[in-house]
């Protein structure tokens, strides 16, 4: 009997962990603006179907040459496992995680149409805010307000998430960039030289946006909670430091973390629990 009582807390914890399993789905939305069906992955927390509750939504953006499955796959982001663990441990709120697709038409999903911004004949940013977010809010039990949405991403997606939160501050309560492409960088130092066009497409980089922001824009940035991290040996460390410096100069609160690491999934996977905890901590 004593042995059973000793084991009971461990058996209970195991049962809770087994039960607290969200699910991952791959779906699509027809875009009139893009003229195609755009696929996306979505994580729905345990108990979603049976509950009348509405859930906050994290939009989680992949990097260059990735796709909507990058944050989900084993060896990649492992989002389902990590989200299940964080929710079961009571560190984060139950949430919906939406992973859009911003792949290109070229080799390794790069090239034409890759990225989160409007280009000639491919108005992706317009699609995201005029069609994609409304589709998610209409289809799922979301908290369809600024306080119910956050955006995060890695590398190219880190830059995309910051630009989205800067230009669409009324949509997001929090933004987290990990190893973010946050400004222009030198071709010689970058393995991603083919995406140097990114900020000409976006019109301005996150660093430049803060550097040249008007008083009204700075006030708007205060309405978003900001966090960024980067590996100390990441080739994008310099631009992340520049972003941190500009935010500090402008008196915009930004949590910034530097950890041991490079530009790889080991670092981003370790960042994911922090992303979830920062965006929607357990109240």
CATH class given for the domain over 22-279:
alpha beta
pLDDT tens digit sequence for 15-30 = 444 446 999 999 999 9
pLDDT value of residue 120:
85
User: What DSSP element (H or E) covers 221?
Assistant: helix 215-221
Close Cβ partners of 98 (under 8 Å, ≥ 6 residues apart): 40, 41, 42, 43, 57, 58, 59, 60, 136
User: Environment class of residue 232 by beta-carbon count within 10 Å: exposed (0-12), middle (13-18) or buried (19+)?
Assistant: exposed
Q: Where are the domains of the chain?
A: 22-279
| Residue 227: its H or E element | strand 225-231
Please say if the pLDDT value at position 14 is more than 50: no
Q: Residue 186's pLDDT band (boundaries 50, 70, 90)?
A: very low
Check whether 185 has a pLDDT greater than 80.
no
pLDDT band at 187 (very low <50, low <70, confident <90, very high): very low
Q: Which of 264, 274, 27 is nearest to 138 (CA)?
A: 27
Average pLDDT over residues 47-64: 96
Per-residue pLDDT band at 74 (split at 50, 70, 90): confident
C-beta of residue 113 within 8 angstroms of C-beta of residue 122:
yes
190 pLDDT band, cuts 50/70/90, is: low
Confidence of residue 267 (pLDDT cuts 50, 70, 90): very high
Render pLDDT for 137-157 as a digit per residue (tens, 0 to 9): 999 999 999 999 999 999 999
Cα–Cα dist 80/15, whole Å? 18
Rounded-to-integer distance, Cα 115 and Cα 172, Å = 20
């Amino acid at each position: 009997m004593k042995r059973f009582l000793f084991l009971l807390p461990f058996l209970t914890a195991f049962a809770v962990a087994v039960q607290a399993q969200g699910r991952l789905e791959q779906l699509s939305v027809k875009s009139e603006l893009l003229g195609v069906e755009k696929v996306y992955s979505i994580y729905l927390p345990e108990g979603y179907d049976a509950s009348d509750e509405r859930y906050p939504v994290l939009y989680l953006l992949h990097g260059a040459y990735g796709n909507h499955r990058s944050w989900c796959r084993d060896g990649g982001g492992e989002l389902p496992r990590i989200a299940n663990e964080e929710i079961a441990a009571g560190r984060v709120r139950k949430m919906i995680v939406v992973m859009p697709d911003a792949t290109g038409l070229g080799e390794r999903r790069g090239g034409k149409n890759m990225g989160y911004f409007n280009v000639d004949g491919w108005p992706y940013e317009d699609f995201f805010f005029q069609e994609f977010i409304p589709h998610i809010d209409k289809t799922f039990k979301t908290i369809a307000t600024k306080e119910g949405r956050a955006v995060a991403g890695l590398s190219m997606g880190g830059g995309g998430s910051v630009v989205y939160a800067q230009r669409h501050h009324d949509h997001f309560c929090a933004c987290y960039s990990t190893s973010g492409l946050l400004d222009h960088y030198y071709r010689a130092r970058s393995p991603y030289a083919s995406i140097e066009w990114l900020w000409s497409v976006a019109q301005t980089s996150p660093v430049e946006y803060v550097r040249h922001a008007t008083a009204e824009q700075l006030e708007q940035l205060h309405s978003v909670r900001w966090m960024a991290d980067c590996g100390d040996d990441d080739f994008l460390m310099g631009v992340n430091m520049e972003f941190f410096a500009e935010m500090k100069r402008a008196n915009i609160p930004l949590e910034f973390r530097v950890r041991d690491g490079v530009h790889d999934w080991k670092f981003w996977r370790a960042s994911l629990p922090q992303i979830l905890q920062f965006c929607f901590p357990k109240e």
